[in-house]
Amino acid sequence: MWVKRVTIKDVARAAGVSYTTVSRALSGSSDIGEETRKRILQISQEMGYSPNTVARSLVAQETKTIGLIISNITSPFTSEVTWYIEEQAWLHGYSLILCNSCSSVEKEQAAVELLTSRQVDGIIIHPADDQSFDRLFPYISTTPTVFINEDMGDLPTSYVTIDNYKGAWMGTEYLYSLGHREIVYFGRRHGKRSRMMRAQGYSDACKHFGLTPRFIDYPYPISTSQQVCDLARQMFSKEQNFTAVFANTDLMALGVLQAADAFGIRVPEDISLLGFNNIVFSALPKINLTTIEQPKQAIAATAVAMLLERIKFPKTENKGRVLAPSLVIRDSCRRIDLPSQRTV
Amino acid sequence: MWVKRVTIKDVARAAGVSYTTVSRALSGSSDIGEETRKRILQISQEMGYSPNTVARSLVAQETKTIGLIISNITSPFTSEVTWYIEEQAWLHGYSLILCNSCSSVEKEQAAVELLTSRQVDGIIIHPADDQSFDRLFPYISTTPTVFINEDMGDLPTSYVTIDNYKGAWMGTEYLYSLGHREIVYFGRRHGKRSRMMRAQGYSDACKHFGLTPRFIDYPYPISTSQQVCDLARQMFSKEQNFTAVFANTDLMALGVLQAADAFGIRVPEDISLLGFNNIVFSALPKINLTTIEQPKQAIAATAVAMLLERIKFPKTENKGRVLAPSLVIRDSCRRIDLPSQRTV
DNA sequence: AAACTTTTCGCAAACGTTTTCGTACTATTT
DNA sequence: AAATAGTACGAAAACGTTTGCGAAAAGTTT
């Protein structure tokens, strides 16, 4: 290392006491005389002593660390949730080890193995896949874990998510209420349950209002915004006769916006656009995306709270919290006259 | 804990050997017979053994962990840099402990103390303040550290940053070349050196081209986008006779965009706007911000590389790497006719 | 067959703490 | 003055590893 770090034994030597006594002075034990405590505190200050958390963790059998596995910190939704999680963790004296899974189940599994090996007290994970749990189960059975942003149903784990079905229904209903009768759903609908539920909510709402669900789906995972834009272009060139697009995600909606721009299609004048997640950039002027909001701070706070409770009381049974989404109305959706429908 | 974790001693007992032998089998030592190694590996697999990194760290005197202190993971620029840092760290077998300083020197210092106490092998820090180094010095003198996004000059530390002066000069020059003669600089210019250098680059370029530097400064720190927008509104209502705004930051530029929108001022038709950082959202259609790019991946990669080198060879002398910014031209700046100038 | 090497393994120390237990000393009670 | 209780501290074990050293067993050379 740089400089030899000063240990508790160094302080003890300087103070002329055993290191047990130093430990007690610092931990605020009562088994110590008042004036020796002060003297030791003084000396340890002067020597710049700081306890070795690694050694402490080894004996205490807890690291005061939680692992966070997310797919991509770059996503505004994710980074905002991460912000709140770090805040909560810090408040409770926990540190955060950050792992990007890159939406790969292999890396996700590697991250979980790493974290358990590092003896983290708990793990918060935004699963990469609908089979994440099965893959991860052998590794997380030994560590308190809470999943976020996915409804884990009856799986033996805690989770916190929003009601994606309801969110999608609300969005569809809103578009219907504005007079839209041909609404295209833009985004993946298979794989993760959250995706399926959103698609289902849209689909069921459509049927409820007498509309035909129309999906622009794709089988492969999409990562770059360029890919999203290309897909949106395909939609504009192939699909006929729709007045609104309900995007899976604000990021997807942004891709639609981009493609629309390229086609000279105006939002909301020519077409209405609805997003999901309410990332901060959706509030930007000229973007002004109407969207379904996820309560990110609440997700983070309840996830951390649930995790800490499980850490404290390992025998607590698993809980699933499903928070409510809400509609944030901005300027990307427009009321249309029923008789005339624009043909793209 | 949940379930009692299986330790190396458990494996040893099951295999009927000493735990030393198990350790050797797993570490790939040559001091072990081939068939015993296989047998032990087999057994440890079956028992689901995973080494306790905490214990290993204690004896090895290294944690394979690096601490990252940033002001706010929510910022697109920061989260992108973080993404690349995590990638590089992972590649080299290091984990990342994430701390948000919230731009507070107090929390920054607390984070550094925490990280050193946790025996991280190194720290990467985006300083909150121009006095961060002095405050932090006593704590980081024992841990390899590299600062990012700030030129630390002659201070005894490694750092990697970009040439902010040059970036600002380039931006000003570009605006000048488009015919702009009244350019307002929007953003803080005191405190951190990076801010000062940007302001200075702008200022010097202005003088070089015979223009008068015009600053919209503010003494207090600004955090929310609402505050930025309010400030931009003030600018539009108070300042007269300017044709271009050079914003400190893309985020600041977004605020200008928002305020301009409210005033009915069009970008770039009525006014040109230039940003700094090139965050992903600047590339959005309808935003299309011309900006000065920071090479985020290069910043992250060199920061990690420098840190790992210092960890490996503690005696390496401090290095400062200053990377080159570049101009990314989009659609927020417009060539104007010299004789007529728009009055706001 | 004796004298070496080499291979394979175990013992024990070490990493820096916390905590249990024991003990010397002081203070209080009988 | 003897017995008891309380206070202040130290010794040692424990947490789960890695590693230097030594020793037994096996193989090789003379």
pLDDT digits (tens, 9 = 90+) for A94-131: 999 999 999 999 999 999 999 999 999 999 999 999 99
pLDDT of residue A343: 52
What is the SS3 assignment for B264?
A: coil
CA distance A2 to chain B (A): 5
Average pLDDT over residues B121-136: 96
Cβ–Cβ gap A52/B117 under 8 Å = yes
- Mutation pick from B8, B66, B71, B73 vs chain A, by most beta carbons of A within 10 Å, is B73
pLDDT, one tens digit per residue, over B179-207 is 999 999 999 999 899 999 999 999 999 99
**Residue B274 Cα to chain centre, angstroms:** 21
CB contact under 8 A, A286 and B287: yes
| Between A1 and B201, the higher pLDDT residue | B201
* Yes or no, beta carbons of A97 and B96 under 8 Å apart: yes
CA of B31 to C1' of D29 (A): 23
**For residue B318, is pLDDT > 90?**
yes
For residue A185, list its beta bridge partners.
Answer: A215, A246
Tokens of A293: 């909001």
pLDDT at res. B31:
84
Nearest CB partner across the interface for A2, out of B141, B281, B287? B141
Residue range(s) in chain A whose domain bears CATH number 1.10.260.40? 8-51
In chain B, residues with a C-beta closer than 8 Å to the C-beta of A95 are 97, 99, 114, 118
Buried b (16+ CB within 10 A) or exposed e, A315-324: eeeeebbeee
At the top level of CATH, the class of B164-294 is alpha beta
Residue B174 has pLDDT above 60, yes or no: yes
Q: Residue B98 and residue A97: Cβ atoms within 8 Å?
A: yes
User: Which residue in this structure is represented by tokens 């550094």?
Assistant: B112
Q: Which amino acid is at A33?
A: G
With CA atoms as reference, the chain A residue closest to B112 would be: A50
Say if CB A104 and CB A128 are below 8 A apart.
Answer: yes
The partner residue sitting opposite B3, judged by closest CB among A48, A142, A258, is A142
- The A residues from 51 to 80 touching B (CB cutoff 8 Å) are 51-55, 57-58, 61, 63, 65, 72-74, 76, 79-80
Residue A123 touches chain B, beta carbons under 8 Å: no
- Most B CBs within 10 A among A26, A44, A98, A282, hence the mutation to make, goes to A98
For residue A155, CA distances in Å to A111, A306, B42 come to 21, 16, 30
Are A88 and A304 a contacting pair, CB within 8 Å? yes
Beta bridge partner(s), residue A272 = A244
What single-letter amino acid sits at B268?
P
Decide: B25 and B12 in contact? Cβ < 8 Å: no
State residue B260's pLDDT score. 93
Q: What is the mean pLDDT of residues B335-339?
A: 72
The residue length of chain A stands at 344
**By CB neighbour count within 10 A (0-12 exposed, 13-18 middle, 19+ buried), where does B62 fall?**
middle
pLDDT above 90 (res B339): no
Q: Which CATH architecture is the domain A61-160+296-321 placed in?
A: 3-Layer(aba) Sandwich (3.40)
Q: What is the pLDDT of residues B86-106, one digit of tens each?
A: 999 999 999 999 999 999 999
The mean of the pLDDT values for chain A is 93
Per-residue pLDDT, averaged over A329-333, amounts to: 96
Q: Residue B42: what are its φ and ψ, rounded to 5°? A: -55, -50
Cβ pair A194, A149 in contact under 8 A: yes
The arrangement of strands across the sheet holding B290-293 comes to: B214-216, B183-186, B244-247, B272-277, B290-293, B326-328
Q: How far is CA A98 from CA A113, A207, B15, B53, B280, in A?
A: 14, 42, 36, 16, 22
The three-state secondary structure class of A137 is helix
Residue A341: pLDDT band with limits 50, 70, 90: very low
Indicate yes or no: CB of B284 within 8 angstroms of CB of A285. Answer: no
The 10s digit of each residue's pLDDT in B281-295 is 999 877 899 999 999
Question: % helix / strand / coil in chain B, to the nearest 5?
Answer: 45, 15, 40
Residues 11-30 (A) with a CB less than 8 A from some CB of B: none
Confidence band (pLDDT; 50, 70, 90) for B338?
low
For B55, name the nearest residue in chain A, comparing CA atoms only.
A58
As a whole number of angstroms, the distance between CA A26 and CA A29 comes to: 8
Q: Report CA torsion sign: B290, B294, B298, B301.
A: negative
pLDDT classification of A337: cutoffs 50, 70, 90: confident
Alpha helices by DSSP H, chain A: 8-15, 19-27, 34-47, 53-60, 76-91, 105-117, 132-140, 164-177, 193-208, 225-238, 250-263, 296-312
Residue with tokens 């689901």: B48
How many beta-carbon pairs below 8 A join chains A and B?
154
Interface of B with A in 324-343 (CB under 8 A): none
Residues 6+ apart with CB under 8 A from B338: B179, B181
Q: Find, among A136, A155, A95, A176, the residue nearest to B111 by Cα.
A: A95
- Which amino acid, one-letter code, is at B120? V
B47 touching A (Cβ < 8 Å):
no
Query: Residue A299 and residue A296: Cα distance in Å, rounded?
Result: 5
Round to the nearest angstrom and report the end-to-end CA distance of chain B: 66
Q: Is the dihedral of CA B303, B306, B311, B317 positive or negative?
A: negative
Count helices and strands (H / E) in chain B: 12, 12
Instruction: List all residues 6 or more positions away from A159 whose beta carbon is below 8 Å from its beta carbon.
Output: A146, A147, A148, A150, A151, A152, A320, A321
Q: Where in chain A do CATH 3.40.50.2300 domains reside?
A: 61-160+296-321, 164-294
Q: How confident is the model at residue A201 (pLDDT cuts 50, 70, 90)?
A: very high
Q: Is the pLDDT of residue B24 over 80?
A: yes
* Residue B105, number of CB atoms within 10 A of its CB: 17
Domain B8-51 class, CATH top level: mainly alpha
Question: In this complex, do B116 and A50 lie within 8 Å of one another by their Cβ atoms?
Answer: yes
What percentage of residues in chain A have a pLDDT greater than 90? 84
**Torsion on CA atoms A163, A169, A171, A173, rounded to nearest 10:** -150
Q: Which of these CATH numbers, 2.60.40.10, 3.40.50.2300, 1.10.490.10, 2.40.10.220, describes B63-160+297-320?
A: 3.40.50.2300
Residue pair B303/B160 in contact (Cβ under 8 Å)? The answer is yes
Nucleotide minimizing C1' to CA distance for residue B33: C8
CA of A125 to C1' of D2 (A): 67
- Residue B165 pLDDT more than 60? yes
Task: Determine the Cα angle at A128 with ends A190 and A61, to 5°.
Answer: 150
The mean per-residue pLDDT over the stretch A222-249 comes to 90
The span from the CA of B61 to the CA of B165, in Å, is 41
Q: Where in chain B is the domain with CATH 3.40.50.2300?
A: 63-160+297-320, 164-294
| pLDDT tens sequence across A188-197 | 999 899 999 9
Helix (H/G/I), strand (E/B), else coil: A73: coil
Query: Position A78: which residue type?
Result: T
Burial class (CB in 10 A: 0-12, 13-18, 19+), B72: middle
Pairwise CA distance, residues A113 & A120, whole Å:
11
Chain B residues touching A92 at Cβ < 8 A? none
